[in-house]
Amino acid sequence: MREKKKGALSWYHTGSEGLSGAGDPERERKERGEGRRRLRPMKSWVEARGRALGSLWNKNREWWWQRRLRIADWLYAVLSFPFSAAYHIEGHGLFDIFLDRAFPVSTFPSLVVDLVVYLAYVPSLLWCGVVVLMRRSRPHWLLVTAFVVLLAFGNFVPATIALYSYAVYHSDRRLLVGWFLLYTLAMGVTYRFSAEELVFLIGMLLVVPMTLGLWVGTRRQLIDRLHERAARLEREQHMMAEQAITAERTRIAREMHDVVAHRVSLMVLHAGGLEVSATDRRTVEAAGLIRTTGREALAELRGILGVLRDDSGASAPTAPQPVLADLDRLVGEWRAAGMTVTRQDTGQGPPPPAAVQRTAYRVVQEGLTNAAKHAPGAAVTVRLHRDERRLEVEVANDPASVPVSPMPRSGFGLTGLRERVALAGGRLSAGACPDGGWRLRAILGTDDPSGTEETEEEASHGDPHTFGR
């Protein structure tokens, strides 16, 4: 008896321990963690498939959006075809009445009746699907076909689609009301129902689709007008911003013109007074050169900025722009100012285009101006090398012969010149020489701008004066 009790007690303790283990929170937490770990690969797979579908939709969204109406036409035609076929066959229209009277079963065999039904039903069903596809582009075909099949076969599906589609995509409300009345008359003639049932059918099959189409069409027109208004406002905002920018730039240009013109005018006035009052011949020549250069600068400044004034009748300057033929005059002016300038022309080739010549002139002008500012008294060499495909312009100066205080640098001259050369299809390089001088070099294509994409060594082939001077 004691052994039995001990066995029972041992079973009781073992069972209680098992029950206590089943309710252990730590064990349950571990089991939940293992379950999450097992579900984690499936969750990652689902997220990856979702991201793939999202990227595919984002990639092809524009394509689907542009063809959404055509896709909707096909959906209407395909999804409505089974219902249209069912009501086409099971309906009781005027054609069924004619068939019962013209081909009674007691007189004609069933094969003849089936052939007549096949020849009448199948082409009309296919034609209904075709005109549903053209519900936006040829709405009158769908309206007429829907009236015929409703009257002949009792099929109301094309009539429902026709009223809804015409109300959505077209704005002739009188024609819509006229076709609604014709469909109502056709349903009254075709269907043998009581007045209450007929009113309910007309309301559900004709009034509801037409009302829904009118709401969708009105909402579509409202959204289109809002989009058009937003686009118009955006265009007007851009125009106003551009006008404000143009006005501000015009004002700044006018102020710059007035300030610079005032300062240069004072310089010309003082130079003229010095030319009159001076007794030394070299001083008189220098004052005359300053006065002439100042007047030319004023004329060029007014010609460039004059078109930015408010005068509506003002026109752009039509004076001829400098070209390579004017380089002798430019070099002569600097020589008269005391600069030692040497010009070297090498190579042969056809005359470059006018735009290339103007760019080359500006390169030489900028190079001579920089040499006078930063290396006074230094000898300057202007080299022009021409061949069949390119024009190479180089302005190099020796180191300054006398100490000079650093001039203020803006960097706008080389920046604007580099943009001008790039617009002409060329490249511009500027940098110091090993002997302490400075070199400004431009390579301009004369026939094909793509020819300027060569390397510097290839572009300088045939030129005796390459980099590394």
pLDDT in tens, 5-33: 444 444 444 444 444 444 567 777 767 76
Task: Please report, for residues 83, 135, 190, 427, the alpha-carbon distance to residue 150 in angstroms, rounded to integers and kept in the order given.
Answer: 13, 17, 8, 77
Separation of alpha carbons 174 and 129, rounded Å: 26
* Neighbour tally for 450: CB within 10 Å: 9
Sheet holding 380-386, edge to edge: 341-346, 380-386, 390-397, 438-445, 427-432
* The dihedral sign for the CA sequence 406, 410, 411, 413: negative
Task: Please report, for residues 199, 213, 253, 277, 350, the alpha-carbon distance to residue 441 in angstroms, rounded to integers and kept in the order given.
Answer: 91, 72, 30, 42, 21
Separation of alpha carbons 218 and 222, rounded Å: 6
Separation of alpha carbons 80 and 87, rounded Å: 11
Termini Cα distance of the chain? 122
pLDDT value of residue 181: 93
Q: ∠48-50-52 over CA atoms, to 5°?
A: 70
Contact 371, 438 (CB under 8 A): yes
Separation of alpha carbons 381 and 368, rounded Å: 9
What single DSSP character describes residue 314?
Answer: -
Q: Which of 164, 139, 152 is nearest to 80 (CA)?
A: 164
Separation of alpha carbons 223 and 136, rounded Å: 19
- Mean pLDDT lowest among 35-44, 144-153, 234-243: 35-44
Q: How many percent of the chain have pLDDT more than 90? A: 20
For residue 26, the one-letter residue type is: E
User: Could you read off the pLDDT of 400-442 as tens digits, one per residue?
Assistant: 776 655 554 545 567 778 888 888 889 999 988 888 889 999 9
3 state SS of 431? strand
For residue 100, the Cα-to-chain-centroid distance in whole angstroms is 65
User: Could you read off the pLDDT of 293-328 as tens digits, one per residue?
Assistant: 887 877 777 666 655 555 444 444 445 678 888 899
User: Could you read off the pLDDT of 75-100 as tens digits, one per residue?
Assistant: 888 888 888 888 877 767 777 777 66
Bridge partners, 432 (sequence order): 438
* Neighbour tally for 9: CB within 10 Å: 10
